[in-house]
Amino acid sequence: AAEHWQGAARGHANALCMVVSTGVGGGLVLNGRLHPGPTGNAGHIGHISVDLDGDPCPCGARGCVERIASGPNIARRALANGWLPGPDGDVSAAAVAASARAGDPVAVRSFERAAQALAAGIAATATLVEIDIAVIGGGVAGAGEVLFAPLRAALRDYATLSFTAGLTVVPALMGTDAGVVGAAAAAAQQSRLDAFVPTP
Ligand SMILES: [Zn+2]
C-alpha cells in the first residue's frame, strides 16, 4: 500500500509489492486498489511452489519461493555449496551478497537461484492477474544488482506471454516507513469504502 501510494509502484494500477528478507511476503494492488483478500493474505507469494519436488518448506508444502529466496536460504545454500564466510564469521545473506559483489562464484550462484525462484513467482502472478510492476523491498533487496540483475534476466525466461512482456521489477523506495505509511493508505481506502453509499 505504501509503495503504491508514495513509492516505487506509484501510478501503477496493478502491482505486486514484496518483502524479501528473513521470509518472503507480498501484497497486491489491483485496479488501483489494495486487494487484501478475506483474511488479508492475498499475494502471499512466498508460499507459492516453484519447485514441485523441492525441499520441504516449514509451511508444509515443497519448493516454495521462500524456501529458495529468503535471506537465510540464500546463506544456507551458499554454505552448503562451499562458500566460506569472512574472518568476522558473518553468515548472513548480506555477507553472501558482499562475496557475490567481489566475484565469488558460489555466492553469485546462490543469488541467481533466489532470483530464479522470485522470477518464477512474479511471472506466475503476472500471468494470473496482469500486474505490470513488481516492487521488492526488505533486507535481501538491499543486495542491489547482485539480486536485481539475475532477477531481470530470469523474468525474461518465465514471463513469456505477450501481456506480461512489459512487466518490470524494481527496488522498493519506502524503506522502514512502509509499514506505517501503508497502514495509513489502507485505512484511507477503507474509510472511502465505508463512506460510499450506492445510489439506487
Ligand atoms: Zn511454504
Contacts of 92 (CB under 8 A, 6+ apart): 71, 75
Distance 103 CA to ligand 1 centre (A): 31
H/E element holding 29?
strand 24-30
DSSP line for 154-186? HHHHH--SGGGTT-EEEE-S-GGGHHHHHHHHH
Distance 37 CA to ligand 1 centre (A): 19
Q: Within a domain: residue 197? A: no
pLDDT > 70 fraction of the chain, expressed in percent and rounded = 98
Distance 116 CA to ligand 1 centre (A): 16
Q: Within a domain: residue 27? A: yes
Can you give the residue range of the structural domain that contains 50?
A: 2-192
> Can you tell me the distance from the alpha carbon of 184 to that of 198, in angstroms, rounded to the nearest whole number?
24
Distance 118 CA to ligand 1 centre (A): 13
Question: For residue range 78-91, what is the model confidence (pLDDT) as tens digits?
Answer: 999 999 999 999 99
Domain count, the chain: 1
Residue 189: the pLDDT is 87
CATH number, residue 106:
3.30.420.40
Distance 199 CA to ligand 1 centre (A): 44
Question: For residue range 58-84, what is the model confidence (pLDDT) as tens digits?
Answer: 999 999 999 999 999 999 999 999 999
> Can you tell me the distance from the alpha carbon of 189 to that of 32, in angstroms, rounded to the nearest whole number?
10
**Axis-axis angle for helices 145-158, 105-129 (nearest 10):** 50
Q: Within a domain: residue 141? A: yes
Q: Within a domain: residue 179? A: yes
CB–CB of 75/92 below 8 Å? yes
Hey, what's the cell of 102? 567481489
Q: Within a domain: residue 199? A: no
Residue 169, beta-bridge partner list: 134
Residue 197: the pLDDT is 63
Q: How far is CA 165 from the centre of its chain?
A: 18
Q: Within a domain: residue 200? A: no
Q: Within a domain: residue 119? A: yes
Contacts of 101 (CB under 8 A, 6+ apart): 146
Distance 35 CA to ligand 1 centre (A): 21
